[in-house]
Amino acid sequence: MSLLTDFDQRDGKVLGEELHGFARELYPICRSITGDGVRRTLAMIEDRIPLQITEVPSGTQVFDWNVPKEWNIRDAFIKSSDGERVVDFKKCNLHVMNYSAPVRATMSLTELRPHLYSIPEKPHWIPYRTSYYKEDWGFCLSHNQLLVLKDDEYEVCIDSTLGDGSLTLGECYLPGRTADEVVISCHVCHPSLANDNLSGLTVATHLAKFLAGRELRYSYRFLFIPGTIGAITWLARNRSAAERIRHGLVLTCLGDTGPFHYKKSRRGNAEIDRAVAHVLSHETNSPEFLEFSPYGYDERQYCSPGFNLPVGCLMRSVWGSFPEYHTSADNLDFIHPAQLAESLHVCAAICDVLESNRRYRNLNPFCEPQLGKRGLYRSTGGGSIEKELNARLWVLNLSDGQHSLLDIAERSRIAFPIIRDAADLLHENGLLSVVSEDAAREKSSRDAAPNLAVARRGQL
Binding site for a copy of itself (CB under 8 A): 62-65, 127-134, 136, 228, 231-232, 235-236, 266, 291, 293-295, 300-301, 303-308, 320, 326, 362, 364-370, 372-373, 379-385, 390, 393-394, 396-400, 411-412
Residue whose CB is less far from a copy of itself, 5 or 293? 293
Give the whole-angstrom CA distance, residue 422 versus residue 396. 9
For the chain, the maximum distance between any two Cα atoms, rounded to a whole number of angstroms, is: 92
Our CB check for a copy of itself shows the closer of 289 and 307 to be: 307
Residue type, 289: F
Dist CA 338 CA 346 (whole Å): 12
Q: From the CB of 387, what's the least distance to a copy of itself, in Å?
A: 11
Return d(Cα 199, Cα 346) in angstroms, integer. Answer: 14
CA neighbor of 272 nearest in space, from 305, 307, 241, 312:
312
CB-nearer residue toward a copy of itself: 129 or 282:
129
Comparing CB distances to a copy of itself, the nearer of 27 and 307 is 307
Nearest approach, Cβ of 404 to a copy of itself (angstroms)?
14
Q: Can you give 97-108 as a three-state secondary structure string?
A: CECCCCEEEEEE
For β-strands 261-263 and 311-315, DSSP reports them as antiparallel
Minimum CB separation of residue 369 from a copy of itself in Å reads 4
Q: Please, what is the minimum distance in Å from the beta carbon of residue 460 to a copy of itself? A: 17
At 70, give phi and psi (nearest 5°). -85, 140
> At closest approach, how far in Å is the CB of 304 from a copy of itself?
5
Taking the complex as a whole, how short is the minimal distance between the CB of residue 47 and a copy of itself, in angstroms?
30
CA distance 208 to 48: 9
CA 111, CA 235: separation in Å to the nearest integer?
Answer: 42
Phi/psi of residue 15, nearest 5 degrees: -60, -45
Between 104 and 134, whose beta carbon lies closer to a copy of itself?
134
Nearer to a copy of itself, 207 or 419 (CB): 419
Q: Which is nearer to a copy of itself, 185 or 343 (CB)?
A: 185
Q: Say how many residues make up the chain.
A: 460
Q: To which H or E segment does residue 249 belong?
A: strand 245-251
**Min CB(166)–a copy of itself separation in Å:** 19
Instruction: Answer for the pair 52, 172: CB distance below 8 angstroms, yes or no.
Output: yes
